[in-house]
Amino acid sequence: MNDNPLLSAGGLPKYDEILPEHVIPAVDTMVAEVESDLSRIEKDLRAPSWDAVIEELNTMEDRFDQVWSPVGHLNAVRNEPALREAYLAAQPKIVALSLKMGQSKKIYEKGMAIMRGPEWTVLDEGQKRALEQRKLGAELSGIALEGEKRERFNKLSEDLSQLATKFNNNVLDATKEFKLVLKDKAEVEGLTDSIKEMLAHSYARENAPAKPDPANGPWLLTLDAPVYLAFMQFGAHRGLREKLYRAFVSRASSGDKDNTPLMESILNLRKEKAGLLGYNSYAEVSLATKMARDPGEVNALLEELLTASYEPAKKELAEVAAFANAGGHAGPLAHWDVSYWSKRLEEKKFGYTDDELRPYFSLEKVLDGLFSVTERLFGVTVRAADGEARTWNKDVRFFKISDGSGKHIASFFLDAYSRPENKRGGAWMNGIRGRRVWKGGERLPVATLVCNFTPPVGEKPSLLTFGEVTTMFHEFGHGLQHMLTKIGYSDVAGIGGVEWDAVELASQFMENWCYHKATLLGMAKHYKTGETLPVETYEKMYAARSYHAGMMMLRQISFAMTDMSLHTSDKPDIKAIEKAVAERTALIPPLPENRFLCSFSHIFAGGYAAGYYSYKWAEVLSADAFSAFEEAGLEDAEALSQTGARFRDTVLALGGSRHPSEVFKAFRGREPSPKALLRHNGLLTV
């Protein structure tokens, strides 16, 4: 068994060696080891202490992560049938082990003994918070339940885990299932050269050995997010836009991939689980680990944002409709018209197109700009270290971060390119290793940043849309919080232990630098000529920042309100809730066949159940944090460096070692206010 790469101790995962057949043997070995360690810690007769209990648990949990973390990661970035099968087969064992770890009465009692004992007074605030988080975690894992109630709780946990995986697989499969080959040039009218290139390569990949021919086709239309969004914004063929829109909003809502029964089961099981834990709703369970105190506080923020954005959004839509009518569109706008005509109006208003910007944003130059602003603000250096770590794909890159003295403090992988055949869509950051300092040594943090950008083609580098540039900055913000932590306790280092609705603070904060003149012009270099993006274009981009902020805000509010209603209702009627929220937030009534929730993985298969509001909550925090830099002076290098050092020492360094409201106040000197967010979005009424 020593040759199983998932079981090799120390160092980074051997991603290039891990095969589906390694998963079950490694999981079985790890489960046996962890159960044995858990039993040993439970039976330890020494007086409970941080070293005898928490450090021992951390070592045990490291073993768990060493095996399961790479499997979960590969399931997202190299999802092939055999691996998916192995992942599904291992999942019940993982859930059962997680519950056993979370529901150990003896461990819970040892933790309580530390909290009540003499050592409590000498522990630092990070250690205290780690213990408090463990206590809450145990309580939410059903520690207080006995007999049949505990059995039922564990069954619910396992069922929910499997339902989430099935929900995700249905969305992935339904998305992959839709394919539309276009052969007529009239069908791709309006599409930019880069979009036609993407669709031609898409076709060639599916029809090897065909060679991509962007100018003459064929082109393949799919529901993959980059393809869908591009066609909805640029495809002049209205009939195809309608076909694509209807397919997109009804994904995973029919046949053997219908997620409707899964959604109902998930909501009912969550409600039952909440009841067993003594909560009135699943929303209360979710908010027990959030910065927001209760559903009322969440709804108050959503109502405030709804009030600020509804009338502006109505005006924005009316302006698009008038522009479309003047441009030859007859009658009112349908859902599949809004993005298209919004984009045409944006181009007319601001005088540039996404495709004109793309050549200025090669991934290499964007990374240079990102690393440069990181160095200026936080005093750290990023350097390429390709070849120093094993990767899961030849295009994956590896980097190392050093502090001001040149000392290596963290590393990260970057998996930048789209691989629709086996890689999940979207973008995310995961911790591969968290920072840990203990008597036996120090472990440096390692992150992985995953995006889905267009790969390089021939001599042409990967060229990003401006939206993708902000995505890169966003994910790196998560990475910075994971990597620049100064806390050495696993539970609360980096993003560990950070309340979910505050965890987007650092990521959304970093997006603001994409609009910072010196940062943007420093990285916007034409990939062929090397010339810098014209200043006038930057001014237009800055002006376009708040374009249709009202409509975008409404869309996010509708998702958040739907999510909160589904998880606070006694007997959630999915259709009735969707309808009630749409009546308040939708400017165009949804289509009868709109089944968007069937593909809403965030809340049914991700970590955002009764937490989708977190994006807006954290946006309030991040906009307010960035306004501290605005107040210091965005062109004052010294002031930026000082404010950046304060941000690093609080938001990035403290991780989950203090409550996020305390961390925010330590940086900002006061409670957060939504004013900066509304101002950045042009929605602040004076």
pLDDT in tens, 166-205: 999 999 899 999 999 999 999 999 999 989 999 999 999 8
> SS3 letters for 198-235?
HHHHHHHHHCCCCCCCCCCCCEEEECCHHHHHHHHHHC
Cα separation, 621 vs 667, whole angstroms: 11
Residue with tokens 């509804």: 310
- pLDDT of 425 higher than 60: yes
What's 335's DSSP letter?
Answer: H
Cα separation, 482 vs 495, whole angstroms: 5
pLDDT in tens, 90-118: 999 999 999 899 889 999 999 999 999 99
pLDDT band for position 242 (50/70/90)? very high
CA nearest to 190, candidates 237, 225, 226, 245? 237
Cα separation, 393 vs 378, whole angstroms: 31
| Cα–Cα distance list, 206 to 174, 195, 201 (Å) | 17, 17, 9
- Structure confidence at residue 685 (pLDDT): 67
- Whole-prediction pTM value? 0.86
Q: Which of 187, 197, 475, 619 is catalytic?
A: 475
Its sign, for the CA torsion 437, 439, 442, 447, is negative
**Distance of alpha carbon 75 from the chain centroid:** 16
Structural domains of the chain in order of their starting residue, each with its CATH number: 5-123 (1.20.1050), 178-251 (no CATH), 359-545+616-680 (1.10.1370.40)
Across the chain, mean pLDDT equals 95
269, 186 Cβ separation under 8 angstroms: no
pLDDT in tens, 583-604: 999 999 999 999 999 999 999 9
**Distance of alpha carbon 130 from the chain centroid:** 24
DSSP one-letter string for 336-392: HHHHHHHHHHHHHHH---HHHHGGG-BHHHHHHHHHHHHHHHH--EEEE-TTSS--S
What average pLDDT does range 282-292 have in this prediction?
95
> For this structure, is 475 an active site residue?
yes
Omega prior to 81 cis, within 30 of 0: no
Omega prior to 209 cis, within 30 of 0: yes
Q: Which residues pair with residue 489 across a beta bridge?
A: none
